[in-house]
Structure 1
């Protein structure tokens, strides 16, 4: 929770970690954002029913939640770096195989494989940042969230032109290059760590057992914490701070997934814009996350501005929703979407809080799993709810009021998350030793 005081240069001795984290960040979002613009072209090759499209649209938060829950157990067995290799390998395989899909079933299965890898990567990056850059949390979280923002609005802009110039299969598969490149830094780091440790003196035996520690475990290996597995999750589930960060994360995720599923239809319905303009407005919504990702981590880490950032995000989002409800036309809709697009600044805010509301990388693994699993599970319901409300009312008033209610309900949780204490502090004040 301290500023980056006395920090050493970012690249000194950890350049591979910088590259690995940034390439991973790019792959986490580009893998998700590259599919929806090509649905029309894919449908021309094989049929995609509304049910299939609904399942694909719901797959990201559901997979993120499921594999977010499983990641801490894998991490304790293999270590952060090895599990990152597993996650990126799943993304690479899924992206390549998705480009080779021959029907709706294979498209869904390969998409699920991608999102399984993304779900693991989502959990791993905040602890990796805390492990390798405890003196540069603000800067690294800025670079990380900025890369995620770029990889959110870039694929929709280039997916269709690339598909027109080649095929939709090339357009889908090409993003695997970035995930493949992201494997290399972690492989090099693991090989280097093993080589250095094997050349060093033999590791001391565990006390009372005579067993030697694994060399790679010593160098880069699994993070160990006193309470592990289900105990960590159970403890976090009893802490208002952990729930508050999860609700903030869920509110941001809800707005993102509802927007990617429904915003073009919403602005078409309330402002009367055409399909091309609706697509541009969706890109505007995604682009608004870029300036937020640049400034939010630094403001939080250096200036402890969590409460102010959260309130600005909530107020901007509510203004955008009110504008879409009552004052939307082809001109003003750009203003309302831009304001609404500021609400997802809660996303980089929540990611930074995962790092600074835990004392150690060990605790950050558990907190990251809890926050993102709970957050994505809660967010997964809202794209369906929005669609159901629209079908029932044949209007966008009820869905927009639902989104406004989500923002309002998140406000007290955001204020709790702004308290300057760690989950360990909160546990110890309530229950004793962590």
Structure 2
């Protein structure tokens, strides 16, 4: 039996830092929409501002995802993680103090800027500190993100009713502050030089294991080198990098379209009440929880990348078809649950970022490229779906457009399933990395 380093031994702070950071990335985004009615009761919220707040996350994630490698090269991955969490916490507190629609929009953009940086940093942190437990840590990481997706909508309104909407919004900043503490302790104590897998000791694909024998690790600590612009530029020429970006962009498209429009869709096509529509949205989010638990293990340990991708695509098609043609107040629960399984694409994309790069510095560049390109792709569709609905008077064309995204993504997902790293692909095409 292969010996492995215990998860917590010497890495307890990194575990806590990664999980609390992951929780903050989603709770910061999901905590506002349930409270818009409470906010609107205090000051005017124009529809245009609400629309901009809904469009802002993928746009900010793309912009700050591109900037993050530059910050990481200058300050180091742990310092930038602390900066991102402090920005999130500050934005959450200030959003709770908003006095008009513009201040609500500006503070939301500040939050999304921090989240955009955190999105890029967590997968490389996993690769740096847990090269022998990538599958387990990505499972914990994506599970924390799933919990923080459906938990804020469930508790936001009761908290607002008990303590006011300002407290309900600002409270989530506590988790961002708590997430920064472990990294600050590690920086102060000089414990950030994690032992990682040396580039020449990484097993050649397809054998990318979840657990690596300590004998295969380097004998001393290796400081993670910052990603260079050369690495990022090379990714632009690699089909593998673009394929992972499309998988991520498809996942983001399904998520942001659903959070923006699923309640309205099920209300119109199935005739459910607004309260039930909210529960159906929570059901959609909850369906990603089992995916977060299983996908990293299935991909890292059993090499099931393409199988997981096909399950996500087929579930998306079936769910959309059911919503479009066979929905009523009973069957809509089944179709939303099935459609929610498209959420397997999100943890799949995160795992691919970690295992499709040999080193943490390459993973930072790949993470930035994939998430920035993916969020740019996803930013188009929430607005497009709304425009199509407004101009056609129904959801048929909008749902067909969402289905077309799944069609376009299919060949890219199959390419992303190839068991090789971006370095391998570059060397096969152009020579030495």
Given the alignment, which residue of 223, 226, 229 partners 1:224? 226
Deviation at 1:183, TM superposition (A): 1.0
Contact 1:88 1:180 in 2 (8 A): yes
CA distance in 2, matches of 1:71, 1:62: 14
Given the alignment, which residue of 150, 153, 158 partners 1:153? 150
The aligned residue for residue 375 of structure 2 is 376
- Normalising by the residue count of structure 2, what TM-score does the alignment of the two structures yield? 0.92
Q: Write out aligned runs for 1:6-405 (5 A).
A: 6-193=3-190, 223-225=225-227, 228-229=228-229, 231-405=230-404
Q: Find the residue that maps to 2:131 and give its secondary structure.
A: coil
CA distance in 2, matches of 1:54, 1:340: 24
Q: Find the residue that maps to 1:48 and give its secondary structure.
A: coil
Contact 1:127 1:361 in 2 (8 A): yes
Deviation at 1:223, TM superposition (A): 2.4
Deviation at 1:50, TM superposition (A): 1.0
Task: State the Cα deviation string for residues 307-351 of structure 1 (Å, max 9, x = none).
Answer: 000001100110000000100000000000000000011000000
Q: Find the residue that maps to 1:12 and give its secondary structure.
A: coil
CA distance in 2, matches of 1:224, 1:90: 22
CA distance in 2, matches of 1:421, 1:6: 25
The aligned residue for residue 416 of structure 2 is 417
5+ residue gaps in structure 2? Answer: 194-219
Task: State the Cα deviation string for residues 48-70 of structure 1 (Å, max 9, x = none).
Answer: 11110111001000000000000
CA distance in 2, matches of 1:7, 1:93: 39
Query: RMSD value over aligned CA atoms?
Result: 1.5
Contact 2:224 2:361 in 1 (8 A): no
How many residues are treated as equivalent by the alignment?
A: 407
CA distance in 2, matches of 1:107, 1:219: 45
Contact 2:186 2:192 in 1 (8 A): no
Deviation at 1:5, TM superposition (A): 5.0
CA distance in 2, matches of 1:258, 1:158: 23
Deviation at 1:302, TM superposition (A): 0.3
Contact 1:80 1:223 in 2 (8 A): no
Instruction: Show structure 1 runs of 4+ deviating over 4 A.
Output: 218-222
The aligned residue for residue 210 of structure 1 is none
Summarize the Cα distance change of 1:410–1:374 in structure 2 as closer, same or farther, 3 Å threshold. Answer: same
Contact 1:17 1:185 in 2 (8 A): yes
Summarize the Cα distance change of 1:130–1:320 in structure 2 as closer, same or farther, 3 Å threshold. Answer: same
Q: Find the residue that maps to 1:341 and give its secondary structure.
A: helix
Contact 2:78 2:192 in 1 (8 A): no
Summarize the Cα distance change of 1:340–1:127 in structure 2 as closer, same or farther, 3 Å threshold. Answer: same
Contact 1:242 1:367 in 2 (8 A): yes
Summarize the Cα distance change of 1:194–1:277 in structure 2 as closer, same or farther, 3 Å threshold. Answer: closer
CA distance in 2, matches of 1:219, 1:137: 18
Task: State the Cα deviation string for residues 9-46 of structure 1 (Å, max 9, x = none).
Answer: 10000000000000000000000000000011101111
Q: Which moves more between the two structures, 233-242 or 353-362?
A: 233-242
CA distance in 2, matches of 1:415, 1:49: 43
Deviation at 1:159, TM superposition (A): 0.3
Summarize the Cα distance change of 1:219–1:302 in structure 2 as closer, same or farther, 3 Å threshold. Answer: closer
Deviation at 1:221, TM superposition (A): 6.1
Deviation at 1:233, TM superposition (A): 2.3
5+ residue gaps in structure 1? Answer: 197-217
Deviation at 1:8, TM superposition (A): 1.1
Contact 2:19 2:140 in 1 (8 A): yes
Contact 1:28 1:122 in 2 (8 A): yes
Deviation at 1:222, TM superposition (A): 5.8
Q: Which moves more between the two structures, 250-259 or 232-241?
A: 232-241
Summarize the Cα distance change of 1:195–1:270 in structure 2 as closer, same or farther, 3 Å threshold. Answer: closer
Q: Find the residue that maps to 2:41 and give its secondary structure.
A: helix
Contact 1:321 1:340 in 2 (8 A): yes
CA distance in 1, matches of 2:157, 2:373: 34
Deviation at 1:74, TM superposition (A): 0.6
Q: Find the residue that maps to 1:410 and give its secondary structure.
A: helix
Contact 1:81 1:220 in 2 (8 A): no
Deviation at 1:432, TM superposition (A): 1.1
Deviation at 1:7, TM superposition (A): 2.2
